[in-house]
Amino acid sequence: MELEPYLSFNGNCEEALAFYSEVFGGEVTALNRYAGSPMAETLPPEAGNKIMHANFESPTLKFMASDNVHQYEPAGNVSLSLGTKDQDEARRVFGKLSEGGKVGMPLQDTFWGALFGMVTDKYGIYWLMNCEKS
């Protein structure tokens, strides 16, 4: 069994996927739009080009994503926690995720011996970065 996060976006899923491809060095491995799907008849025409489902994979993570055209707001809050032992990579990724976002806690040394920070990216996704120090 494996856990694979599913991220919902408010109409900017395609933009977010391009951003995450740059940040994590990954790619979209599958993408389906609402247009042409059985759901298309129940949606306004402008929703047709939005993403119904996408898969994203990088060397270090994977997730699924879609545009929330039904304005469904999932219950509960989710944080995505990234772990690494490479401080340069932690700083690079945290910096990219911070662009246009809101830093909750700057990336800094912690009492548990790690470099740690929290950021909500420009798409509203809440990330935790934990870099173990060796």
Give the CATH number of the domain where residue 101 resides: 3.10.180.10
Q: Residue 125 belongs to what domain range? A: 79-132
Helix 13-24 vs helix 87-98: angle between axes, to the nearest 10 degrees? 160
User: pTM for the whole thing?
Assistant: 0.81
- Tell me: do 18 and 57 sit in the same domain: yes
Token reading at 14:
């395609």
How many domains does the structure of the chain reveal?
Answer: 2
- Span of 11-15, 39-43, 71-75, 116-120 with lowest mean pLDDT: 71-75
Reported as a single tens digit per residue, the pLDDT across 88-97 is: 999 999 999 9
Distance CA 108, CA 106 (A): 6
- Tell me: do 83 and 117 sit in the same domain: yes
DSSP 101: S
Average pLDDT over residues 69-73: 61
pLDDT at 69 over 70: yes
pLDDT at 65 over 80: yes
What's the pLDDT at 84?
92
Distance CA 14, CA 77 (A): 22
Phi, psi (rounded to 5 degrees) for 47:
-80, -15
